[in-house]
A and B are shown apart, each in its own frame.
Chain A
Amino acid sequence: MKSFFIPKKIVVPATADSLPRIREFITKVGKRYRLSKHEINAFKISIDEACTNIIKHGYQDNSGNIKLRVSIGVDQMIVELIDQGKSFDPNLVCEANVQDYVSSGKKGGLGIFIMRKFLDAIDYEVTSIGNILRLTKQRQQVARNRDQQHFSATFKKFKSRLFFNNYNSQMICCGEFLLLT
């Protein structure tokens, strides 16, 4: 992934009253990096569902924390949720017919369906620092073009400044620096 800024992080208590703070964080990061409203909403609801599952099933309403790491690139956005609760890989939940499920009258369990509908990939890993749930969404073409234009404009500006200062040899190096910051 072509990242162009350092990932943003937040740590919140694993309680349902943290959900507004999590959504606010995603909205803030999304707006800062010019994601579309649709992209922000898709991530907000998916992360809300994932965090609700961690709170209810991972920590089983016991105390703990959830760490969120967000990185946004030209092609995709990734949010990692890290927790130290009971491990649960959402990919193990089989693909069911959502309508059959809804009509069955079961009260919960729709969160994973929502995540699958709104996201492109859900990866799960149990590591020494905790469970890592990685949620990926490919960015919309319009947003990607907008970002690429923004990046090209920034880079050209930077490049012409380098030419002006006769530091051509450092250009590639600084260009990579731009990609990462």
Chain B
Amino acid sequence: MDSFEVTKREQGNINILNIKGYLDAHTAPQLEEEIQKLVDDGKYHILVNFSELAYISSAGLGVFMGFIENIRNNNGDIKLSNMNPKIYRVFDLLGFPELYDIVENEQDAIDKFNN
């Protein structure tokens, strides 16, 4: 069975979510719940590390779309890092790189948050 896991850690005021496995309509609510908890706690600097993500469908992309406006209105952002080419292709096909910060690695995302 294709599983999905989210693990959280903090670096300064940045909240890093490592996502692992398969993100689809079945597992997207798990990620949604984790981001909702951060938003509820007023944590608006969110970095999502995709290095261990094997698959994403539009339900996964929809999670980011659902939060981004509120987070940016609170002077925060969701930055996305460490995507493999297969995952990036899905984001790219839908024009996400124009609207979201998609960076090569965590450090690039952290630098962007701090600048």
Contacts and interface: CB of A to CB of B under 8 A. Distances in A.
Interface string A96-113: 001100110111101101
Contacts of A24: 2
Contact of B57 (A52, A105, A106): A52
Given A20-B1, A102-B94, A52 B59 contact: yes
Contacts of A48: 24-25, 57
Given A23-B2, A23-B55, A49-B57, A105 B90 contact: no
A19 B26 contact: yes
Given A16-B26, A102-B65, A107-B66, A49 B58 contact: yes
B114 to A, nearest CB: 26
Contacts of B95: 98-99, 102
Interface residues of B, number: 25
A146 interface: no
B8 interface: no
Contacts of A52: 24-25, 57-59
Given A103-B99, A110-B58, A110-B62, A117 B26 contact: no
B61 interface: yes
Contacts of B108: none
B22 interface: yes
A113 B95 CA distance: 11
A94 to B, nearest CB: 17
A52 B26 CA distance: 9
Interface of B: 1-2, 22, 24-26, 55, 57-59, 61-63, 65-66, 68-69, 86, 90, 93-96, 98-99
Interface of A: 16-17, 19-20, 23-24, 41, 44-45, 48-49, 52, 55-56, 98-99, 102-103, 105-108, 110-111, 113-114, 117-118
Given A19-B24, A99-B99, 11 more contacts: A16-B24, A19-B25, A45-B90, A48-B24, A49-B57, A52-B25, A52-B58, A102-B96, A105-B66, A106-B65, A107-B63
